[in-house]
Chains A and B, each alone.
Chain A
């Protein structure tokens, strides 16, 4: 039976962005019910028990994060919504905001009620102009309807939601970079601890959550935990620290497929099914060589690499929070799946990826600033046919050591910059060696690339 979308159920309706239609579809009933019947702690417990894990990339359990706020804090407590969505090949937050803003806003209102916040800052990347204007109209509707502002529906609960636009920097998606940017400073991530729940925006306790996470909160409060847990992958009994991968997930498919699109499916669909069934297969009748399973920071899977003791390959792994990690990738990330066909050079792909991270490193930490720069220089050399034999080992060495694991950098960008490099070279080493040996050049563009972003 085909899966019936819930998070995306309203996106193709006419006027899907308007309050009136959202109300007709039952919208804000859970918020009203929570205000009237539930204590904030009960909302937190519901979300915690649902098993919801953050959709922004790290997969941290949402309800648990909310409990890290100091108890009986006099306030203010802030909620920051992370709509920076800049992980390459990811666009599900955009669709939610452009097509069903009220579903996201209701989740924010429920979350604020739960964590006793009276003020949410919705940090949205500048490039999402349409989403920004759609959300602003939706927020205006809520103030007019008395669902935002002072003493909402006579409950004594006050809430404001403010949109705040970014300025084209990937690092503003890292939660403390986001907070610094919101505060009007350079978006330099902070050293942790203290974590934002203790000391965040304006030095007050703060929760940072992703847009899709908020849409999930809305649906959990409407449909209940049994519904949420009826989908996905339960915790691995052999791993006591695994929190499971429950619920629906928005997967975005991009790259060399016939029909790139965003689909909603229960957590745990395989890459093969996503590409072949939902993405319309690899374009031009070709085969997939590599797939990036969750935003480029996650690294690559090799579609032809056999899994141990199995006929299946890495193409068959499930996309739940654990799947990509089992084949040497960093994790599920944003569940953005990018397909690379068999005729594309991994040298070119890796160069493109390194270009991104070198451009987006904020420059605070030496290993990240210098490492991303050198990895770009070296992959550029490779694609110009001037690679040296030792380059591959140096690249793997840099990428293994650039990240936060030994505690050398402040945020996770450096880790994310390392994974595509180490996975590409480890899994496609022969292709890189051939490129070096033959001195084959890629088509190198002569454009002098300057400018912003």
Chain B
């Protein structure tokens, strides 16, 4: 039995014709698995490598370069909440916002709430600086985030 579902395998394979070689599908494949499973387990690395005619070590080499993909011992929660800490946000209170989130969620930066709902991270400039301090909810921006607005957002994500 394969570890990855047929559906995931088919989605990965659909990327292959787009590129002159299969290795270029590494990032799309990692994203598909990571979005779905909230981490990339070793079994998945092996099967991605198989699908793309690579050695598992090649997939792992690429994957670990981007400190973006989580391994199975450090799985993401349902929502990944990134708080930008770079200059435009820093000048408008990002440090306080990050600290507020950490207290509110009861997790250190990088950690996931015990109910598995929210993982808190810091981000470098997420390109939403006109709305500093800004955060990213998975891959969508929320701008001009005050502590109150953050509390509302967290409530919403907790009950989702």
Inter-subunit contact A162/B121 (CB<8 Å): no
Contact B23 A185 (CB under 8 A): yes
Contact of A453 among B28, B99, B122 (CB under 8 A): B122
Given contacts A130-B141, A167-B68, A260-B129, contact A88 B87 (CB under 8 A): yes
Q: Size range of the interface on A?
A: 35 or more
Interface membership of A447, Cβ < 8 A: yes
Report chain A residues within 8 Å CB of B145: none
A380 CA to B113 CA, complexed, in Å: 30
**A94 and B127 in contact, given A89-B87, A453-B122 (Cβ under 8 angstroms):** yes
- Alpha-carbon distance between A170 and B132 when the two chains are bound, in angstroms: 19
Q: Is B61 at the interface (CB under 8 A from chain A)?
A: yes
B126 at interface (Cβ–Cβ under 8 A)?
Answer: yes
Q: How far is the CB of B40 from chain A (nearest CB, A)?
A: 11
Decide if B87 touches A447 in the complex (CB within 8 Å): no
- Whose C-beta in chain A lies nearest to the C-beta of B69? A167
Residue numbers in B under 8 Å from A187 (CB-CB): 65-66
Interface check B18, CB cutoff 8 A? yes
Pair B91/A344 contact, Cβ less than 8 Å: yes
Residues in A with CB closer than 8 Å to B28 are 164-165
Q: Which residues 269-297 of A sit at the B interface, judged by CB distance below 8 A?
A: 292, 296
Q: A447 to B99, Cβ gap below 8 A?
A: yes
Interface segment among B5-13, B102-110, B150-158: the answer is: B102-110
The answer to whether A184 touches B27, judged by C-beta atoms less than 8 angstroms apart, is: yes
Bound: A188/B62 CA distance, A: 10
From residue 117 to 133 of chain B, which have CB atoms closer than 8 A to chain A? 120-132
Closest-CB distance, A284 to chain B (whole angstroms): 12
User: Quick one: CB contact mask for A422-449 with B, threshold 8 Å, 1 for yes?
Assistant: 0000000000000000000000010111
In the complex, B95 has a CB within 8 A of chain A: yes
Contact at B24–A340, with CB atoms within 8 Å? no
Query: Which residues from B are CB-within-8-Å of A94?
Result: 127-128
With a cutoff of 8 Å between Cβ atoms, the chain A residues found around residue B31 in the complex are: 126, 165, 167
Known: A167-B30, A167-B69. A127 touches B88 (CB 8 A): no
- One of A125, A360, A452 near B127 (C-beta < 8 A): A125
Q: Within the assembled complex, what's the spacing in Å between the Cα atoms of A451 and B128?
A: 20
Docked pose: A170 CA to B123 CA in angstroms = 11
The smallest C-beta distance from A329 to any residue of chain B, in angstroms, reads: 15
**If A88-B86, A89-B125, A167-B27 touch, does A447 touch B136 (CB 8 Å cutoff)?**
no
Enumerate chain A residues within 8 angstroms of B27, measured Cβ to Cβ. Answer: 164-167, 181, 184
Let me know if B88 and A447 touch, CB within 8 A.
no
Chain B residues near A253 (CB-CB < 8 A): 130
- Min CB–CB distance A42 → chain B (angstroms): 29
Contacts of B102 in A (CB 8 A): 447
Tell me the minimal C-beta distance from A83 to chain B in angstroms. Answer: 10
A132 CB within 8 Å of chain B: yes
Whole-angstrom distance between the Cβ of A386 and the nearest chain B Cβ: 20
Per-residue A-contact encoding for B54-81, CB less than 8 Å = 1, 0 else: 0000000110011111100000000000
**The one of A127, A162, A254, A447 that contacts B109, using a Cβ cutoff of 8 Å:** A447
Extra pairs beyond A88-B88, A130-B139, A356-B125 (14, CB < 8 Å): A89-B88, A91-B129, A125-B127, A127-B82, A160-B18, A162-B19, A167-B30, A183-B23, A184-B23, A184-B24, A260-B88, A356-B86, A450-B109, A452-B68
A residues touching B (Cβ–Cβ < 8 Å)?
A: 76, 85-91, 93-94, 125-130, 132, 160, 162, 164-170, 181-188, 202, 252-256, 260-262, 292, 296, 336, 338, 340, 344, 348-349, 352-353, 355-356, 359-360, 445, 447-453
Question: Can you show 6 pairs from A to B with CB atoms below 8 A apart?
Answer: A91-B127, A126-B139, A130-B139, A167-B31, A252-B130, A445-B95
